[in-house]
Amino acid sequence: MKSKILRMLKERQTYVSGEELSAQLGVTRAAVWKAIGKLREEGYEIDSATNRGYRLVSCPRDRMTRETLLDAATYDGSMWKEIYYAKQLDSTNLEAKRVLLEGRGAEPGAVVCEQQFSGRGRRGRGWVSPLGAGLWMTLVLRPNLEPMKASMLTLVAGLAVSRAVEELYEIPATIKWPNDIVVHGKKLCGILTEMTTEEMRMTGIVVGIGVNTGITDFGEELREKATSLALEVAKPDEVDRLMVFRAVLRQFQSCYEQFMQTKDLSLLIDDYNARCITVGHRVRVEEGASAFEAWAQAVDAQGELLVRLEDGTSRTVCAGEVSV
């Protein structure tokens, strides 16, 4: 009911009477009044005037609740059906997998939390996820897609985050293949895509996205490697996780819809390559126990990195760790 009231107040942009709200929603005026009270507690500034009703003055900034997140996920043509919010989780990826396995809620959806105590990174690493200092989110998807193609969604998400950050802030958000978002040489965001399977069948895909928004001290180990929006933008006070969340969802939807048309990256790859800092550089590719150096030439529509070796031959790299 709170979201419906919010939507009506937003659409109208002026006073809406308690009588009209209660009639439209089929609830008592006392119930409307109670819901308005709850919205105010969540940080919505709602003016009330005798004989006129309620008017939405402002929405909370950077204040994550299921309500504010749902609101951010609601835009014209939005595909997002469910938002799961918790203050603390082991990992949003783990929670997203539980959601899929238990058949809880609807897809596509997103799991978001304020703090992860067991944040997961690539290659079995952890992911530092302090309270309130990042957007720790996982997209919950059940696409009609061959399991082999699931990893391409990582690149789709990378492109979406790069576009989202550049849309909101005047900073260059480049991509380090396959999926790190890098600002001025330091990592701003990491992405971890995982699959859920049942009896060898892929039942869903979770795309975990961790954007460092408010971290200002990464500690000795990460200081030279990691960054955050608060450290990069001109006005750190204005960094707003809800805005970032909304922009990421919108950009992801747009990229995802194009991806699903062809089930590869052909409609996205030009923009991806234009943002990719790996391309045009000499890279070191570590594959299991072996490593080699090569020139990165481009990323292809399958998401593989095309490299040229010392002897002039070319090959693609599909997994492994690449450093520029």
Instruction: List residues binding ligand BTN (CB under 6 A).
Output: 91-93, 116, 119-122, 125, 127, 129, 136-138, 180, 190-192, 208-210
Q: Give min distance, CB of 56 to ligand BTN, in A.
A: 31
Diameter of the chain measured on Cα atoms: 81
Q: Nearest to residue 112, comparing CAs of 94, 92, 127? A: 92
SS3 59: coil
Which token pair is 9?
Answer: 């107040």
- Is 105 annotated to bind ligand? no
Q: Give min distance, CB of 179 to ligand BTN, in A.
A: 7
Q: Which is nearer to ligand BTN, 108 or 119 (CB)?
A: 119
Q: Give min distance, CB of 151 to ligand BTN, in A.
A: 13
Residues 46 and 54 sit within 8 Å (Cβ to Cβ): yes
- Is 187 annotated to bind ligand? yes
Q: Which is nearer to ligand BTN, 157 or 299 (CB)?
A: 157
Instruction: Indicate the residue whose CB is closest to ligand BTN.
Output: 190
- Is 254 annotated to bind ligand? no
Q: How far apart are CA 299 and CA 307, in angstroms?
A: 9
For residue 90, count other CB atoms closer than 10 A to its CB.
14
Q: Which is nearer to ligand BTN, 91 or 196 (CB)?
A: 91
State the alpha helices, DSSP H only, in the chain: 2-12, 18-25, 29-41, 66-72, 92-101, 152-168, 219-222, 229-232, 241-262, 269-275
- Is 116 annotated to bind ligand? yes
Q: Which is nearer to ligand BTN, 192 or 205 (CB)?
A: 192
Q: How far apart are CA 229 and CA 133, in angstroms?
A: 10
Q: Which is nearer to ligand BTN, 42 or 107 (CB)?
A: 107
- Is 176 annotated to bind ligand? no
- Is 92 annotated to bind ligand? yes
Q: Give min distance, CB of 57 to ligand BTN, in A.
A: 33
For residue 258, count other CB atoms closer than 10 A to its CB.
15
Binding site listing: 91-93, 116, 120-122, 187
Binding site listing for biotin: 91-93, 116, 120-122, 187
